[in-house]
């Protein structure tokens, strides 16, 4: 699965894009975040305050309980600030 990070989430995670093989028991975005937080301080810092984290599953806005079964791409980012 491809993971993408944007804006300060990217800076804290220390990467903008990575390819990961997930444990089979991870079913939704919540599970993915919990797993990512075990991968190092950068991820822990990036996901320290979930109130300011947004996600997209296969390039569509999702929630933390959105399923990632069969998804090819999940992205994490702060609330958007375009326009």
Partner 1 sequence: MIRVQAEDFDIGAEVAALTAGRTDIGAVVTFSGLVRDASGNAPVTSMELEHYPGMTEKELARIETEAHERWPLQATLIVHRVGRLAPGDNIVLVVAASAHREAAFEAASFLMDYLKTRAPFWKREEGQGEARWVDARESDDQAATRWKR
Contact call for residue 23 and partner 1 (CB under 8 A): no
Who contacts 43 (Cβ-Cβ below 8 Å, separation ≥6)? 12, 13, 36, 37
Q: Which of 7, 60, 49, 56 is nearest to 29 (CA)?
A: 56
Which position among 3, 4, 33, 71 is part of the footprint of partner 1 (CB under 8 A)?
4
User: What minimum distance in Å lies between the beta carbon of 7 and partner 1?
Assistant: 4
Contact call for residue 53 and partner 1 (CB under 8 A): no
> What is the contact surface with partner 1 in residues (CB under 8 A)?
4, 6-8, 56, 59-61, 75, 77-83
């Amino acid at each position: 699965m491809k993971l993408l990070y944007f804006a300060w989430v990217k800076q804290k995670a220390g990467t903008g894009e990575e390819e990961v093989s997930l444990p089979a028991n991870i079913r939704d975005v919540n599970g993915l975040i919990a797993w990512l937080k075990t991968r190092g301080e950068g991820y822990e810092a990036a996901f320290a305050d979930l109130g300011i984290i947004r996600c997209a599953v296969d390039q569509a806005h999702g929630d933390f309980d959105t399923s990632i079964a069969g998804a090819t791409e999940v992205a994490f980012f702060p609330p958007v600030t375009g326009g």
